[in-house]
Amino acid sequence: MSAPDNQRKRIAVLISGRGSNMAALLRNDCGGDVVVVGSNKADAKGLDVARDAGIATFAISHRDYADREAFDAALVAALNEYQPDLVVLAGFMRILTPVFVNAFAGRLINIHPSLLPSFPGLDTHERALADGVKLHGCTVHFVTPELDRGPIIAQAAVQVDDEDTPDTLAAKVLTQEHQILPYAVRLFCEGRLAVEGLRVRTRPARGG
């Protein structure tokens, strides 16, 4: 069951590493509460951050399952115990199958380190530099079965300088990720996002 419109939304976050975007959600009032943080890696540093904040955590290794669909089914079952209104992929380094995506359709978002639809997938900063782009950035989007092609909620751009390396560019982009992810989550929790095909329209704030 989802929370009534007048209640704060229940947010689940999935991570695979340090969880800096998850931490950004915890630092900001996003209109909802992070109720659980899950990972496919038991040693993900972000799980310690969540535990220190008093948030429930779990880890399910994809290596324990015969295929992606079986892992995704286990992940869905684990998340459903917390009845999330929104699931946020915040550096979750797994390609998810329709088993997972369809279970949370319309309430599953991802933060991606490029200005989609440019540079979907991995190694985005290296590819941006190799292609000589002058602007790079990050995207928050709804997740659909097609990788990194869901409706775009928010984007932020950074300038690519001649002296940039993949590491310096990643640091620039990460700063922007920490800003637009909480913003996008708040829009969702406030019920202000309307999806029309691949376009996302932002409704005015209530009373605005």
* Each residue's pLDDT tens digit, 11-61: 999 999 999 999 999 999 999 999 999 999 999 999 999 999 999 999 999
pLDDT of residue 205: 84
160 CA to centre of own chain: 24
- Name the architecture of domain 9-200: 3-Layer(aba) Sandwich (3.40)
Q: What is the dihedral of CA 146, 152, 153, 154, to 10 degrees?
A: 120
Q: Are 87 and 12 in contact (CB under 8 A)?
A: yes
List Cα–Cα distances, 46 to 14, 59, 61, 90, in angstroms.
Answer: 10, 11, 15, 10
| pLDDT band, residue 5 (cuts 50/70/90) | low
| pLDDT band, residue 7 (cuts 50/70/90) | confident
Spatial CB neighbours of 154, under 8 Å, sequence gap ≥ 6: 139, 140, 180, 183, 184, 187
pLDDT of residue 173: 98
Q: Are 12 and 88 in contact (CB under 8 A)?
A: yes
Q: Above 60 in pLDDT, residue 1?
A: no
pLDDT of residue 52: 97
* Summary mean pLDDT of the chain: 95
Spatial CB neighbours of 108, under 8 Å, sequence gap ≥ 6: 86, 87, 89, 101, 142, 143
- Mean pLDDT of all residues in 82-100: 97
**% of the chain exceeding 90 in pLDDT:** 93
DSSP 3-state of 69: helix
* Higher per-residue pLDDT: 27 or 5: 27
Q: Above 80 in pLDDT, residue 207?
A: no
pLDDT tens string 134-173: 999 999 999 999 989 999 999 999 999 999 999 999 999 9
pTM summary value? 0.94
pLDDT of residue 56: 98
pLDDT of residue 2: 55
Q: Are 62 and 39 in contact (CB under 8 A)?
A: no
pLDDT of residue 6: 63
112 among known catalytic residues? yes
Please report, for the chain, the start and end positions of each structural domain, with discontinuous segments joined by +: 9-200
Spatial CB neighbours of 119, under 8 Å, sequence gap ≥ 6: 127, 128
Q: Considering 62, 112, 136, 141, which one is annotated as catalytic?
A: 112
- Mean pLDDT of all residues in 124-132: 98
**% of the chain exceeding 70 in pLDDT:** 96
